[in-house]
Amino acid sequence: IIKLNCMKIPTKLTNFLSKNKVKFEEVHHRTVYTALDKAATLKIKPGLVAKTLILKAGKNLVMAILAANRNLDKVKFKKVAKIKSFEFVSERLMKSKFKGFKIGAIPPFGGLFKIPAFIDNGLVKEKTVFISAGTYESSLKVSPQIFEKVGAIRADISVAKEISKPKKKNKK
């Protein structure tokens, strides 16, 4: 039997989920640092893995939730979030604002951190999605419909990732 070195899901998250009656399945996996790695590890389509982006607009934080295989469409996001500009938050700010959660594994619940959250339309169309649970070794399998129930705003905020194709070698 292989015992995974599993970090416990932060209590703040489990309390939030039970208070909001969110049904979830805990999924343990090897340590991963990106949503694309999570998809590869769990052998699922990247479109089923949600990534959480934390952005700073002026003095305020805002959250964007999109599939691992998508990029944030900055123009659409600014319009939907009604902000003029934003930047990705620093690691230092992440550590101070999201205590108890690993950087890069922030759960996609704006309500948990009292910040506005926007979820991409593409994710909401799926039956189930995998989200970060605050650690690098565990995820939660949830219905994406719960995001709007807990306050996320559904919007068109992503664009397909451009995949660079390997250059073909010329045959002589």
Question: Closest Cα to residue 136, out of 6, 42, 5, 32?
Answer: 32
pTM for the model: 0.88
| Cα separation, 64 vs 87, whole angstroms | 12
pLDDT at 169: 58
The pLDDT tens digits for 129-168 are 999 999 999 999 999 999 999 999 999 999 998 766 556 5
Q: What is the pLDDT of residues 10-67, one digit of tens each?
A: 999 999 999 999 999 999 999 999 999 999 999 999 999 999 999 999 999 999 999 9
